[in-house]
Structure 1
Amino acid sequence: MHAPVELAKSYRLLNHGPTVLVSAAHGGQRNIMAAAWSMPLDFNPPKVAVVLDKSTVTRRLVEGSGTFALNVPTRAQAEATLAVGGISASELPPGQDKFAAFGLSAFEAARIDAPLLEGCAAWLECRLLPEPHLQNRYDLFLGEVIAAWADPRLFADGHWLDAAAGSTVHYIAGGRFFATGEAFDAKAMPRRS
């Protein structure tokens, strides 16, 4: 059984990977924004891609600093994710950032200046891999992961653990999220002769 999907909404069929919060800092300013379009690109060295619209303050900070962080929020942070994704830092009073506006706690990254949001499932500190054509034409930013951290209750020994401790969220539009569910193992089906 299948039903047609409006092409303008077809990206949602694939866009159930974890939503991330992109944080950056430059010139005494810091910001955080939600990004539903991010993905891993490579293993060694690890690389990621994230879409940062031309109109965002975060993009300006990433371009200025050459670094950014991907914060992977938990279900408990879904409201904060919507909040920072629903307003531009340019709409805030002068001198205020989204961390202060929404009472979000942050801590210092190890290798970059971007703040890391407390309470997330994971954090990736990234060095921008400049690709002006991709950035200008498609708003696509590539980064090399130079440090990574995870809540050991959620991710250990290279694997996601039981989501009961705090699942990641997957934004699907209109204020609606999915949360990661119960982990299970499977074996490949046998080949037919």
Structure 2
Amino acid sequence: MKHLQDVPLAKAYLLLNHGPSTLVTSEHEGVANVMAAAWVMPLDFDPPKLMLVLDRNTWSRHLVEGSGAFVIQLPSRRQAELTVDVGSCNGGELNKFARYDIATARARCVEAPIIEGCLAYLECRVIDEPHNQQRYDLFIAEVVAAYADERAFSNGRWHFPDDQLRTIHYQAGGAFFATGEAFQVAKG
């Protein structure tokens, strides 16, 4: 077919990796961390569940396994630099909250910080699936609380009043794009 080019299989994930970038916060025994994660997806509606790929070599993995909880946050375009920063260093080696002067509050239902200024928050409790966690680094979690900035999400829909209040989507190598304009198609 015209205009198609092969994509190396090792880079095939980039074809799907344009969902919103997320920040994951976790805490265990008074130690907290934040990391960037692009591989988060919804799994079920009722009760709401999601999946998160959490590499076994990350500090966040240690905290999530200890606490059984985490918070997914959707950063805005104004938080793109922060997203790259927290995704480029190891929380086991430094306190990212102090290093990047991150303003936080407490999550509503789980023991973890939330990052102020994000567009949406999903508080999650891990559904223990040792096989998936050990073999695939895949965590399944139930969403126990969800809330969003009403300027960008209301009545069950995303709407972006200005460029700074858009979700961001990580591609690779520090490259992002912002969510585009919303549109609706009438049912036929």
Tell me the equivalent position of 2:159. Answer: 161
Q: Gaps spanning 5+ residues in structure 1: where?
A: none
Tell me the equivalent position of 1:150. Answer: 148
Q: Deviations over 1:120-141 (max 9, x none)?
A: 0100000100111111011111
In the TM superposition, what is the alpha-carbon distance from 1:75 to its structure 2 partner?
0.6
Tell me the equivalent position of 2:25. Answer: 23
Tell me the equivalent position of 1:177. Answer: 176
CA contact (8 A) 1:125 1:146 kept: yes
Tell me the equivalent position of 1:126. Answer: 124
In the TM superposition, what is the alpha-carbon distance from 1:157 to its structure 2 partner?
1.2
Q: Gaps spanning 5+ residues in structure 2: where?
A: none
More off after superposition, 75-84 vs 155-164: 155-164
Q: Which amino acid aligns with 1:171?
A: Y
In 1, the alpha carbon distance for the partners of 2:154 and 2:104 equals 22
**Identity among equivalent pairs (%):** 53
TM-score scaled to structure 2, two decimals?
A: 0.95
In 2, the alpha carbon distance for the partners of 1:3 and 1:187 equals 34
- Aligned positions, number: 185
TM-score scaled to structure 1, two decimals?
A: 0.93
In the TM superposition, what is the alpha-carbon distance from 1:184 to its structure 2 partner?
1.3
How do residues 1-193 of structure 1 correspond to structure 2 at under 5 angstroms?
1-92=3-94, 97-164=95-162, 166-187=165-186
CA contact (8 A) 2:32 2:112 kept: yes
In the TM superposition, what is the alpha-carbon distance from 1:89 to its structure 2 partner?
1.1
3-state DSSP class of the match of 1:90? coil
In the TM superposition, what is the alpha-carbon distance from 1:163 to its structure 2 partner?
5.0
Q: Which amino acid aligns with 1:128?
A: V
In 2, the alpha carbon distance for the partners of 1:187 and 1:158 equals 17
Q: Which amino acid aligns with 2:157?
A: H
In the TM superposition, what is the alpha-carbon distance from 1:160 to its structure 2 partner?
0.6
In 1, the alpha carbon distance for the partners of 2:161 and 2:71 equals 23
In 1, the alpha carbon distance for the partners of 2:107 and 2:139 equals 20
3-state DSSP class of the match of 1:15? coil
3-state DSSP class of the match of 1:136? helix
CA contact (8 A) 1:16 1:172 kept: yes
